[in-house]
Structure 1
């Protein structure tokens, strides 16, 4: 557990980061000892350990599980049974995962102590940014946050997304000094109406444009949605600034009250300046032009978010892109100790205080000859991972559960390992016995979209599915395209798009290429171009099922029939690969 420290003392924060990463093994051992001793009398632990609380008994007897394996315990607590089924402390609420990267939303139990640890972890990182980014501490933060409406279990326990939980917890504490750090009032960020909240957060940011030192969102995709919203609403925002009056459709009391502190008088000069920038033919570097004192853009750009890096670079116009933290609803895990590194080189240093961490070895070439599918992967401790190897993290808090992520060890910061986030372990596309996971698909699409750049086109977003309606089945990609030139017609050259199809196939592994070229058991890959706004509609569908804008990640494979109907209804053109990918005759 993180010890108490002074949030306002940068030296204390940096010293703590050094301490926890230097003493990684000792901290991990003490974390495990605390978890086992405190929860020894829970029904779950007693069922496996029977009072034997040493590390070896834990390793030998407590199973490594998935969410479905322990879901029955979650359901029992949610339905009113006591928290001590799984935990020695009261569970104050359940966190709801996004449900877009790994399936349906999961309910993750949270205690007051764990919540406090997460809040401390989030604020611990700021001094590291100040150390690396000159002038960052002289301004304020414009990070776009969005909450979702809360749910409730049968027993009355609150269900919130992680972002909603953090924001509302900050609201109940005076320790984190929100208003001294942030451009937008907390009341606006915690407005449940996403559209009104986004509009007013942007308005706050524009009215105080000279004070914005850092801006962004939790995920890259969320920040790009804000930029798109700005593109659609800048004229309204300028009108509000010019007249000193808020739009009539902003009716939420929190937003109206929050913005009233800043929209106090007409400011036609500022409105004219913003209008001049927004009316330009290209929106390249628009972030730096609208917020001239911004030092960086903050957003997670690893894993499935990596595909948005070119668009962030386009809008950012050279501003550093900082991917600061690695976290999930289950656990806050690590931080980027080198925040000014290139987005493609981001590695996260594990904070050993947050949970007990183990790692399952993942074979890089699991489909190659010689792979033994019956062999159980080795489980290694945090400090024993090997540089260059791939692992799936196993986190112990209440259970010893698999995260489903794939990480590659890139080095060590003091004695704590650093990992590059590769993607999800889950196979997302398969027709024959080939297995295409998220990392494979993302690499292939990244190679293909380079062909768009000479034509001033950008890939806004994508997803995929398997079409088995005819034989042989084939992969289908849905692409939403955007232009670097404002209001330009989106009419991609068919030859370019067919070459994109071929490049995706050529970039997939040898097993796929064998089935495609030699065995003919996989048909030509197809790209369906969807019209502007298709992925907003897809997001709205998942939001209606309980996800949140702040935590939403576009699913890289879609199997839900309703979601597929949304995409299919917005297809404007389709292209298939005219050439077969290469194959050298090997497995």
Structure 2
């Protein structure tokens, strides 16, 4: 066994023992994190404004700190961006992660020295958990690629500014530097298509064993590899063993990926964001991701069906239930307090606490009171693919409310890599699976308020063309899975087959 592989097993065993210790006392660990955050936060302007010095428990915190999204927290963030000290967290952040998607354009998420270290540790531990469970260390001596944003950083009032994935590129440990791909020069290419072409050229002659990134953009890389060689990815990279992904549910892409690769490979799901690293898949045998309760983040949860009420109840980890859709609220060691991340999660286990990401609180369809969420449409697509010969590149769902001469319906805009031989069967499984999961949708179909869903075919490469047209091709950008209006659907009609 190579020295690096032997060391990896030892390290994995040590990390596993540490993980078991905090997993065994989740509530106590979260209370400890809470106390430490409040103590640090009391020395900040935010802490003084919200009387942190008199907070003794979670209820005190709830009474003093309202739930805020980015726009509501922005007056404080703007002061941080200007270079002021001790606003949200003691001192100044070491980075500002630039993201998009708010109503007012770019947003800047503070990243402190301690929070970036927790992000990197979580990424490392995800791989070490895999090694400890499977015993597989063969991949550690091969080349590893992480499809990410440019690592070139700007400076804004003395603080480094860039995309989270680009910031993370500066923290690749020394023992992996020789394994990491692509080259620094290629990683700095801004245009995504040019970058992927360069990555293909660089990686083709290498012994690639680990590939990581958002599935939709890794798919683009795989397709270009196949175009360049005429071979399956698994033939090109015979030792490719591990796919690491995050950002979107992998299941709708799995059949497509296995076809591109030509065989099955193990995968690890991650739940990172600029605001923090929240969970990772700690087992190949169990579903869901282990929620990281000891990583400087205090979690609160609000039932999604109560979120828009005047004073919804804010629950701690001790109060959550399996199978309920929750909006996840975080307070972090980067100075986010009572922060609505926008993501919704469901617990599938509480011993230990494992979650799946069920969608976004703002991304749902309830044009007729059905409140369909991302998890439900993704499960319906997974089942339709499983029961037919279809392979799907990408899809999104929207309501069609005003339809002349017929009942309204849900429109599924789908880009097929291989359309099903029996399209009626494919549509029937989609609709039936959605009805099984969502009783409101079932009632609307049964009551003849809605007609069964319809599928619109998007041409090959259509979703990529659309993302390029709005300046969001590649990197950390993702296609919105569903919306409560038809704006995205209308735009995608320009790319119909």
TM-score (norm: length of structure 2):
0.84
User: What secondary structure does 2:190 align onto?
Assistant: coil
Once the two structures are superposed, residues 112-151 of structure 1 have per-residue CA deviations (whole angstroms, 9 ceiling, x without a partner) of 2322332233223333232225243553243242314878
Counterpart pick for 2:166 among 139, 157, 164: 164
1:509 is matched with 438
1:63 is matched with 66
**Cα distance in structure 2, aligned partners of 1:387 and 1:506:** 21
Task: Report the alpha carbon displacement of residue 13 of structure 1 after superposing the two structures with TM.
Answer: 3.2
Residues 363 and 483 in structure 2, CA contact (< 8 A), matched pair in contact too = no
2:297 is matched with 356
Residues 91 and 109 in structure 1, CA contact (< 8 A), matched pair in contact too = yes
Pairs within 5 Å for 1:177-576: 177-209=175-207, 212-213=208-209, 215-234=210-229, 278=231, 286-300=232-246, 304-338=249-283, 340-341=284-285, 346-362=287-303, 366=305, 377-397=312-332, 398=335, 399-412=337-350, 416-450=352-386, 452-453=388-389, 457-470=390-403, 473-483=408-418, 495-496=424-425, 499=428, 502-503=431-432, 506-507=435-436, 509-518=438-447, 520=449, 522-523=450-451, 525-542=453-470, 544=471, 547=472, 549-557=474-482, 564=489, 566-572=491-497
Residues 304 and 423 in structure 1, CA contact (< 8 A), matched pair in contact too = no
Return 5+ residue gaps in structure 2 as ranges: 1-6
User: What secondary structure does 2:174 align onto?
Assistant: coil
Residues 364 and 484 in structure 2, CA contact (< 8 A), matched pair in contact too = no
Residues 187 and 195 in structure 2, CA contact (< 8 A), matched pair in contact too = yes
Task: Report the alpha carbon displacement of residue 162 of structure 1 after superposing the two structures with TM.
Answer: 1.2
Runs of 4+ in 1 over 6 A off after TM superposition: 149-154, 559-562
User: What secondary structure does 1:294 align onto?
Assistant: coil
Residues 151 and 187 in structure 2, CA contact (< 8 A), matched pair in contact too = no
**Cα distance in structure 1, aligned partners of 2:100 and 2:483:** 15
Instruction: Report how many residues are paired.
Output: 483
TM-score (norm: length of structure 1):
0.72
Task: Report the alpha carbon displacement of residue 83 of structure 1 after superposing the two structures with TM.
Answer: 3.6
1:74 counterpart = 2:77: yes
**Cα distance in structure 1, aligned partners of 2:437 and 2:350:** 31
**Cα distance in structure 1, aligned partners of 2:18 and 2:322:** 25
Task: Report the alpha carbon displacement of residue 539 of structure 1 after superposing the two structures with TM.
Answer: 2.4
Task: Report the alpha carbon displacement of residue 478 of structure 1 after superposing the two structures with TM.
Answer: 0.9
Task: Report the alpha carbon displacement of residue 512 of structure 1 after superposing the two structures with TM.
Answer: 2.7
Residues 89 and 111 in structure 1, CA contact (< 8 A), matched pair in contact too = no
Once the two structures are overlaid, the 10-residue window that deviates more, 392-401 or 188-197, is 188-197
Once the two structures are superposed, residues 481-507 of structure 1 have per-residue CA deviations (whole angstroms, 9 ceiling, x without a partner) of 113xxxxxx696664566467546645
Residues 34 and 298 in structure 2, CA contact (< 8 A), matched pair in contact too = no
**Cα distance in structure 1, aligned partners of 2:437 and 2:381:** 10
Residues 220 and 308 in structure 1, CA contact (< 8 A), matched pair in contact too = yes
**Cα distance in structure 2, aligned partners of 1:323 and 1:307:** 15
2:115 is matched with 114
Residues 183 and 208 in structure 1, CA contact (< 8 A), matched pair in contact too = no
Q: 1:208 to 1:501 in 2, by over 3 A?
A: closer
User: What secondary structure does 1:428 align onto?
Assistant: coil
Residues 296 and 322 in structure 1, CA contact (< 8 A), matched pair in contact too = yes
**Cα distance in structure 2, aligned partners of 1:133 and 1:99:** 41
Q: 1:201 to 1:137 in 2, by over 3 A?
A: same
Residues 146 and 192 in structure 1, CA contact (< 8 A), matched pair in contact too = no
Return 5+ residue gaps in structure 1 as ranges: 1-5, 235-274, 279-285, 484-489, 573-587
**Cα distance in structure 1, aligned partners of 2:140 and 2:111:** 35
**Cα distance in structure 1, aligned partners of 2:441 and 2:139:** 50
Task: Report the alpha carbon displacement of residue 309 of structure 1 after superposing the two structures with TM.
Answer: 1.8
1:36 is matched with 38
Once the two structures are superposed, residues 235-262 of structure 1 have per-residue CA deviations (whole angstroms, 9 ceiling, x without a partner) of xxxxxxxxxxxxxxxxxxxxxxxxxxxx
**Cα distance in structure 1, aligned partners of 2:366 and 2:108:** 28
Return the index of the structure with the highest Cα Rg. Answer: 1
**Cα distance in structure 2, aligned partners of 1:292 and 1:377:** 52
**Cα distance in structure 1, aligned partners of 2:268 and 2:228:** 27
User: What secondary structure does 2:315 align onto?
Assistant: strand
Residues 94 and 159 in structure 1, CA contact (< 8 A), matched pair in contact too = yes
